[in-house]
Every structure is written in C-alpha cells, then in structure tokens.
Chains A and B, each alone.
Chain A
Amino acid sequence: MQLATRATIDSPELQPNGSLSVAARTPRQIIWRHFRRDRLAMVSLVFLGLMITAAITAPLVSRYVVHHPPNTLYINETLDQFGVPKGPNHLFWFGADDAGRDLFVRVLYGARTSLVVAFFATGISVLIGVSVGLVSGFYRGRVDTALSRFTDVIMSLPVLLLALGLVAGCGLSSRGCLGGLVRPGLLLVSYVIALFNWPYVSRLVRGEVLRLREKEFVEAAAAAGSSNFRIMVREVLPNVVAPVLVFTTLIIPNNILFEAALSFLGIGVPATTPSWGKMLSDAGSIFTVAWWMMVFPGLFLFLTTLAFNLVGDGFRDALDPRTIR
C-alpha cells in the first residue's frame, strides 16, 4: 500500500492551465521508476556495479594500492615453516593462499574471470537459446520438430565428459583448434559453457512463444501487415523478456560454478588466471587452518550470485506491467 501511495505515474498533476492531466512518460522511464523503488534490487545493482569496477580496475589496484601482483609468491612473508599461510593483516588484507600469493588481489582478479563467464558465456547461451526457441515456437511444425530434436540431442550429451574432451582437445596447443578460431583460456571455457546451456533457454522460450503466438495480438499484428520477423521481434520477444531475464539470473551462478568445476578439474582457465571457483577448490584441503582462503572467494561468489538474483527479480517486477500500479 505504501508503494501505491507513492506511485506517481497515474496521479493527476495540476497543469498551468488549471486542468488535471496525466504526465506522459516513455516506457523506459516507467520501468526505471519502478525498478528504483525496489531497494534490495537497487543495493544489488550498486554491488554489481562495484564488482564490475573492481574487476576492471584490478590491475591498477594491485599495482598502485597493494603493490602485490596476483601471481607473485610471497613465501617468506606469508608462510610459516610448516607452509601454513598467514591470515588477513594490514599488508595482505584477505590473507595469503597456501602458495604465498596475496588473496585480496587474487579475489579481485577472480571477479574478472567470474564476470566474464557470467556475462559472456551466459550472453551467448541466451542469444542462441532465445533465437532457436523463438523460431521453433513461432513456426511450429517441421521447423519446431527439427530444432527441438536438436536441442534434445545437446541436452542428452554427457556434459562434463564432453567439456573435458573439448577443452583438452582445443586447449593442448596454444594455437587452439578450428584454425585458431578457438583458443585455450577463458573464452574457450565460455564457449563450452554456452554450448551446454542454451538448450535450457531455448526450451523455456519455445514454451512461452507457443503460448503467446495463439494470442489475438499476434493475429492483430499480422492483420495490420507485420512480417513474421517483425511479429517475432516486436510482439512476441518483449513478452518473453521477463521470464528469460529471471532464468538468466538463475543460470549465471550456475555458469560461474561450472567454470569453477572445470577449473577444479584442471581444464578450466589456465593455472595462472585467478578464479573464485579454483580458489574454493584449492581451499578445500586447507581451510581448517586457513579459513580466509574459503571465506573470501566464497563470500564474493555468494554475494555476486545473490545480487544477480535480486536484480533479476527487480527487473521482472519492473517489466511486468501488471505489477505497476
């Protein structure tokens, strides 16, 4: 109710000429106004903004603020005679890992890895998934049968085994495979993750499109003279944005964790590239004496995941005209 009283889109405003009228706003303004009202989502958005800033400025911070490069081993400074690293202190803010590297710098760099996977891999899978789902749901019939069987095939592949094979196959030589098109490293990992993720997006979108295309507004658009492409993009697509957005916030953490799993198995990002997932795996054997090795990467992984979810929720509410009162 508090929200309702604060809502201003529909409240009449007194015009200079004395008549009551409703201010006209663009849809984007309306969505933004409602998103802004969701405090948790706003806080999460700010947090994600900070994480992105941190990821971008990680080299600057490591060089000019803490003066510790991510892969330098500070064995004398951080490890005792048994090889147990030191905890957080004024020089090593998050402590050090078992190899004597600055955990703070590595967590910053880890944000890069995770966010690249989060945006790039998820972006590719959403792009493919939405396109395939849209086409197969819209055209139905044979097109749908062909595309749906294809997604079934992808979904029935043994993900981890194939990922191992792909990454190993393409990652062995530094020139990569497919004539240098795919190179080992973070991008390869992103492609592999995207390859196994898009069928889920596609299924979701297909179902939505099958439902939506029976609505009369699709016929109305056709009757007005819209082409199939225009109907798909202008009429149907805006209606699947909300579920896709919410689903995306769910697969982002999954993808971050998938990257971690691949890294854990030694086929993810190269050993010198810090990644939260890998840090967590490394901490597994030693966290009883060095809690910080698990807490800091874990905390950031958790917060980033949560923030993506809350932002997604906020967007869903703001995009859904029915929740706008």
Chain B
Amino acid sequence: MSTHVAERTEAAPRTDRAPLLKLTGIKKHFPLTRGIIFQKKIGAVHAVDGVDLEVYPGETLGLVGETGCGKSTLARVIMRLHESTEGTIQFEGRDITHLEGKELRALRRNMQMIFQDPYASLNPRKTVGAIIGEPFRLHGTVPKNRIRDEVKQIMQLVGLNPEHYNRYPHAFSGGQRQRIGFARALALRPKLIVCDEPVSALDVSIQAQILNLLEDIQEEFNLTYVFIAHDLSVVKHVSDRVAVMYLGKIVELAPGETLYKNPKHPYTGALMSAVPIADPDLATVKKRIILEGDVPSPINPPLGCRFHPRCPRAQLPICAEQEPQLLPQHPGQVAACHFPLEDRAVITEDIETPLHKAEDAPPDGQTAAKAPDPSQWEPGNAE
C-alpha cells in the first residue's frame, strides 16, 4: 500500500455500555417458488439463519466470511432494506424490526450505508451535488438555500473538490466515487454506518486512502461502523471486534487481535491461515489449512454444525447432530464449536508484538512459524 494504514491501537470499547444496535435471532429466508401464475413455495434460501449481534457505540465491528455467507444480506436487514423473516432488531434500545412510514424515515437519519460497487451505487444520471444533497432534500434537515453550501462542505470533508459539484459520477475514479458514496452516507450525520465491502472493488493503493478516511471521520463524528469485508487484512486494520460468518450464522466473535492471534473456531483458523504474508521467508514456513469442498448450499444447510462437512476436526456424530452454541472462550471471545482450537503459543509469548511489526507480518504468519503444525492439533475440550 502506498499509504501506511494506522493499525487500531486503542483498546476495544468497553462493552458494558448499552449496545447501539442489537440483533436477536435474525433470520432472512428468501423463498424459492415455482410456477408462473400460481406460485408454489418449494423451499427457501437461508441467507441469514439466526444471528445475534451487539454493536456498541463508537466501535467498528468487522464482519467477515466467504462470498455468499450472508454478510450483505445481514447488512440490508440491519438497514431495513430487507424485511427480516424472524428476530428483532433494536437500535438504541428501541425495537425497529417493523417500523414503517414516518418512523422508518426518521430512523434513516441515524443509520446509513456505504455500498460495495462504486459504479452501481451512484445514479449515473444525477450530478454529484444532487446525489450528496438528496438526503437533505428528503429529510429537510437543512434549509433549501443552504443545501449547496452544506454539500460542498461535506465534499471537502471527504476529500473531494467542491468545484466538482455539477459533475456526473462517470467523471470520477473508483476511489473518488466511493468518497461520494461516503459523503452521501455522512450527510445526515448518522450514528451508525453499515459499510458493505466498501473497499473491495478498489485498487489496493486506494483502499488505504479510503480506510484512513473512514477512520478519521469516525473519530470526528463519533461514528459506529459495521464493516463488512472478505479481505481479512482490511478487516483487521479497521475493526475493534470481528465477527466471522459461515452459511448465515456467526461462528466466532472476538476482539480483532485475539481473533487473529488465537482463533478458536476451525473455520476462523482456516481463514486466518489464508491471509497472505508479505515476507517470503515466513510465507514458505507458514502452513495453510486448505478446506476441502465447497460451501454447502444455503437452501439445505447441513444439520448440526454447519461447518462439519468441511471441518478437519469434526467428530461424528456430535458435530453432525448438535448445533454448537456461541460459548465464551477468552474475554470478549465467543465461538460456536464443539472442539475449538487450542490456544496458540503465540498468545502468551508474542502478545506484546510491536504494532508496526504486526503490520509487516500478520500474526498468523508468525504463529505458524512457532506454533505447532495445525494439522497436528488435538481436539480440545469445549469450554
């Protein structure tokens, strides 16, 4: 990356405060139908299948997982763009699961979203000024004659040239477009911003700029982020806590450092081992855990633990019959596994690793060099 991305140094926000956002048992099933006029329901895609999550004010919660695991659907359920099939969403303690009309509109002021595709998320027929100013026109938070100034101010804030007010999105690069999307989300001064893979479509050098911008703005406006990504190094840079999703469920949730240094769920372990290392010497030593097979279909998710058909540690019949619950492992860490991974040696030895060192070589790389070969790990006892 051309720009150095400052690693999170502050301690994870205290989680004893009241959560800003609380999801309880959120499910989103998309019905599969057959027939043209008389449609018959023949099944459902279990995109999100029972997610409990709490997001605390001021934190960045990372959400990682493979393509198709339900991250983006969860984001849209949080944003009330999709109606959840089951479960409740609470925002600042208020149940917003079924808000409608005026109340829902009022809620929009507090929750905004940044989208993945900087090309599809901006209307090609509207000027940048119109795009960023739209929230003001919708909510009337700023008098009409002041909208232009306000928009230009936000453009400046996110690093856009206010002179480009009347340009169309096509005249901007991907990174600039993402700044426009960010400016639109910021316009109403929301408390929560859901970022749906905001940098995955960008050039690596641009990713760093956008991530830094997100962090700077977060401090300035005391924002809370739900940050979705499939790029682990990106999530690591921005997140205080990270949730790992697999097939519509959260399998592990932990503070960023803990998760990266000491994953408990075998799926997380495999994910972490896939993070590329910039150091070729370490890279050759590093052991990768290659998962076999594909992600099972979310139409018929496996019984028991959803990960068991691909899990190197699965023990029948328990893993195929009993669905593991999210149980506490280390402080702030929960994982849903009957046979969680053992603590890696590194957590005791290298926890004080200087942060810039961690930047150069992701901790799992070091781990792999020192920790026992993952393939030799013995099944541990569920706590």
Contacts and interface: CB of A to CB of B under 8 A. Distances in A.
A215 interface: yes
A224 B163 contact: no
A10 B171 contact: yes
Contacts of B122: 217, 220
Contacts of A145: 36-37
A235 B170 contact: no
Contact of B113 (A22, A223, A230): A223
Contact of B108 (A27, A215, A224, A241): A224
B127 interface: yes
B168 A22 contact: no
A220 B181 contact: yes
A321 B139 CA distance: 28
B123 A238 contact: yes
Contacts of B123: 217, 221, 235, 238-239
Given A216-B116, A220-B113, A27 B127 contact: yes
B163 A22 contact: yes
B81 A225 contact: no
A223 B122 CA distance: 13
Nearest to B114: A220
A27 B167 CA distance: 8
A225 B37 CA distance: 33
Given A22-B164, A239-B125, A223 B170 contact: no
B163 A322 contact: no
Contacts of B81: 219, 222-223
A87 to B, nearest CB: 52
Nearest to B169: A321
B115 interface: yes
A227 to B, nearest CB: 8
Interface string B123-136: 11111000000110
A322 B116 contact: no
B268 interface: no
A25 B166 contact: yes
A288 interface: no
A223 B76 CA distance: 9
B166 A224 contact: no
Contacts of B117: 216
B166 A26 contact: yes
B112 interface: yes
Given A221-B134, A224-B134, A225-B138, A216 B120 contact: yes
B220 to A, nearest CB: 21
Interface in A220-277: 220-226, 230, 235, 238-239, 241
A81 B218 CA distance: 95
A217 B120 contact: yes
B379 to A, nearest CB: 43
Interface in A1-54: 10, 21-22, 24-27, 30
Contacts of B104: 225
B251 to A, nearest CB: 27
Given A224-B138, A225-B105, A239-B123, A219 B115 contact: yes
Given A220-B184, A221-B134, A321-B170, A238 B126 contact: yes
A324 interface: yes
A226 B123 CA distance: 14
Given A220-B113, A224-B138, A225-B139, A239 B163 contact: no
B194 to A, nearest CB: 9
Contacts of A215: 120-121
A186 to B, nearest CB: 35
Contact of B135 (A26, A30, A217, A225): A225
B166 A27 contact: yes
A209 B111 CA distance: 27
Given A219-B113, A225-B139, A239-B123, 9 more contacts: A24-B163, A25-B166, A145-B36, A217-B123, A220-B184, A225-B104, A230-B138, A238-B126, A324-B170
Query: Would you list the 9 A-B pairs with minimal beta carbon distance, nearest first?
Result: A216-B121, A225-B108, A238-B125, A321-B168, A216-B115, A217-B123, A225-B105, A216-B120, A24-B166
26 contacts: A10-B171, A21-B163, A22-B163, A22-B164, A22-B167, A27-B127, A27-B168, A145-B36, A215-B121, A216-B117, A219-B81, A219-B113, A220-B121, A220-B184, A221-B134, A223-B112, A225-B104, A226-B134, A226-B138, A239-B123, A239-B124, A239-B125, A241-B125, A321-B124, A321-B125, A321-B170
